[in-house]
Amino acid sequence: MTHPGNVDDRPKEECGVVGISAGSDDAARMAFFGLYALQHRGQEAAGIAVSDGQAIRIHKGQGLVNQVFDHGTLDPLIGGMAIGHTRYSTTGANSERNVQPYVVETMHGPLGVAHNGNLVNTDLLRQKLLTRGAGLQSSSDSEVIALMLAASAGDSWEERLANVMPEWNGAFSLVVITGTKVLAARDPWGFRPLSIGQLPGGGHAVASETGALQTLGCDNIREVAPGEIVVLQGQVVRSHQAMKPKEHQARCTFEHIYFSRPDAVWDGLSVHQARQQLGEELAREHPVEADVVIPVPDSSMPAAIGFAAVSGITYNEGFVKNRYIGRTFIEPTQELRNQGVKLKFNMLEGNIRGKRVVVIDDSIVRGTTSGPLVRMVRDAGATEVHVRITCPPIAHPCFFGVDMGSYEELIAHQLGVPEIASHIGADSLGFLSVDRMMKALGKDDGYCNACFTGNYPIPVQLSLLPTKRRFDGAFG
């Protein structure tokens, strides 16, 4: 289904996960509010599985969190433990059979799994499962993870999880529910975020972002370490280092640039502050004479503040965002679809007319949105439009859970910066360099920048690589 949210040319995140071990039978409702705080990470489907100490009950479906759940669907989900998932599909099509969590019956009792990330050796793992006679029902690597865990050797679920984790190459932040406990684990590269906190009424919660834990009132929040397994059981939490963290960590830089909510803390850094520092470095690297700096809402707003502070150019708002257009599953007519980004943004002409404008945005992926945005600024009366991007050019696909597009879709793989500037109609265009980006984060290494550099932290199966060909037509 095509819906208005697709007019936005942004990297698409894969999903968000939450796990609850509460001191009451209200774990499902806590999971609901945790997912609601993670809605920005995936808007295609949602699900919650809950355990009462014996059986696992589940409800899941396609749509937004508040479309999938209401009192009628939450009331039967009684229990003190729960896991939840909100999904954007990266591997596996957006279909009902791929909605998570996955719940299976095993010889050790019921098991539910929700996964954030992407494995790069899924094809090999699927073949191994099929050879052993496993019945795969979906096209998602998350089901592969669930079935491998179900068949893993060990005397406890944490032992089985520790035994099977080394077979998974790629990004995974997992929440797992059994009849008696909730487990959480993170890959040894640390690709995707996962944090744990203490619930105010007793018990603990884990979630993809710290903001979701704060929504639940958690304190004593910390990051789950790469390679760590955390076990939540009643009021008790215990953990152990199942795998040694990789020497070269590979946290996703795009969590700072775009994905995470600004109130998140990722790798010990405030996301809002990191974005402001990205804007500051962008102003130093690509200065320009202009009258006003405007952000493309919402993730670029802190960066625009930072750019304005360093450049001395006045900050103001220029775009008014319809914050709900990307949250509807009502398909527009072709006539409305042709309006493109105008469905999502209106202009504050009084802040733009007769001025030289700097537009701050977080990324250019396929190049389908930047051109219409520049035209909107010009139509609002700008005399010049200068575009500044808070990350380097995205010239390579991601294989670790982010939908960046294939080589043939990525405009920066086909065109140089001057050509992209001409294509989008900007008077000038500046991307933040990798070195300046890392300087803004205060880091020398520990991050995956493969989408900018092509240097992947894990060897990628050649069969996974999208076709690499030169540009031979106009970008839409």
- Are residues 85 and 155 both part of a single domain? yes
CA distance 356 to 137: 55
Burial class (CB in 10 A: 0-12, 13-18, 19+), 116: buried
- Are residues 224 and 335 both part of a single domain? no
Q: Is the pTM of this model over 0.85?
A: yes
pLDDT score of 472: 28
- Are residues 233 and 336 both part of a single domain? no
Full 3-state SS string of 35-91: HHHCHHHCCCEEEEEEECCCCEEEEEEECCHHHHCCHHHHCCCCECEEEEEEECCCC
In a domain? residue 374 = yes
Cα Rg of the chain (Å, integer)? 22
Domain boundary among 247, 282, 302: 247
Asked whether residue 470 carries a pLDDT value surpassing 60, the answer given is: no
- From 430, 409, 172, select the one nearest 285 (Cα to Cα): 430
CA distance 418 to 9: 20
- Are residues 223 and 289 both part of a single domain? no
Binning pLDDT at 50, 70 and 90, where does residue 122 land?
Answer: confident
- pLDDT tens-digit profile of 256-276? 999 999 999 999 999 999 999
Mean pLDDT of 376-405: 94
- From 288, 286, 346, 290, select the one nearest 314 (Cα to Cα): 290
In a domain? residue 132 = yes
Binning pLDDT at 50, 70 and 90, where does residue 12 land?
Answer: low
- Are residues 101 and 187 both part of a single domain? yes
Q: Is the four-CA dihedral 134, 184, 36, 269 of positive or negative sign? A: negative
pLDDT score of 213: 98
In a domain? residue 117 = yes
- Rounded to 5 degrees, what angle do the CA atoms 453, 456, 458 make? 170
What secondary structure letter does DSSP report for 256? I
Asked whether residue 318 carries a pLDDT value surpassing 50, the answer given is: yes
Crossing angle of the two packed helices 122-131 and 141-151, in degrees rounded to 10: 50
- pLDDT tens-digit profile of 345-375? 899 999 999 999 999 999 999 998 999 999 9
Assign residue 94 the CATH number of its domain: 3.60.20.10
In a domain? residue 62 = yes
Q: 210-219, 302-311, 442-451, 465-474 — which is least confidently predicted?
A: 465-474
- From 46, 444, 400, select the one nearest 255 (Cα to Cα): 400
**Contact criterion met (CB below 8 Å) for 52 and 78:** yes
- Are residues 97 and 214 both part of a single domain? yes
**Contact criterion met (CB below 8 Å) for 458 and 418:** no
Split into its structural domains, the chain has a count of: 2
Asked whether residue 113 carries a pLDDT value surpassing 90, the answer given is: yes
Assign residue 294 the CATH number of its domain: 3.40.50.2020
- Are residues 214 and 345 both part of a single domain? no
Chain centroid to Cα 14, Å, comes to 5
CA distance 257 to 362: 6
Q: 183-187, 322-326, 357-361 — which is least confidently predicted?
A: 322-326
- Are residues 307 and 370 both part of a single domain? yes
Domain boundary among 214, 247, 280: 247
Burial class (CB in 10 A: 0-12, 13-18, 19+), 9: buried
Helix (H, G, I), strand (E, B) or coil at 104: strand
In a domain? residue 312 = yes
Counting residues of the chain whose pLDDT is more than 90, the rounded percentage is 76
Most confident range (mean pLDDT) of 83-97, 140-154, 289-303 is: 289-303
- From 246, 87, 264, 140, select the one nearest 193 (Cα to Cα): 264
13 vs 52, which has greater pLDDT?
A: 52
Length in residues, the chain: 476
- Provide the residue range defining the domain that includes 119: 4-247
- Are residues 218 and 310 both part of a single domain? no
pLDDT score of 137: 65
In a domain? residue 253 = no
pLDDT score of 333: 72
Which residues are catalytically annotated?
Answer: 15
Asked whether residue 94 carries a pLDDT value surpassing 90, the answer given is: no
**Contact criterion met (CB below 8 Å) for 229 and 222:** no
- Are residues 310 and 389 both part of a single domain? yes
pLDDT score of 89: 57
pLDDT score of 34: 97
404 vs 264, which has greater pLDDT?
A: 264
**Contact criterion met (CB below 8 Å) for 400 and 171:** yes
Asked whether residue 467 carries a pLDDT value surpassing 50, the answer given is: no
Half-sphere exposure of 227 (CA within 13 A, CB side): 13
Q: 380-389, 400-409, 417-426 — which is least confidently predicted?
A: 400-409
Asked whether residue 411 carries a pLDDT value surpassing 90, the answer given is: yes
- Are residues 229 and 332 both part of a single domain? no
- Are residues 130 and 218 both part of a single domain? yes
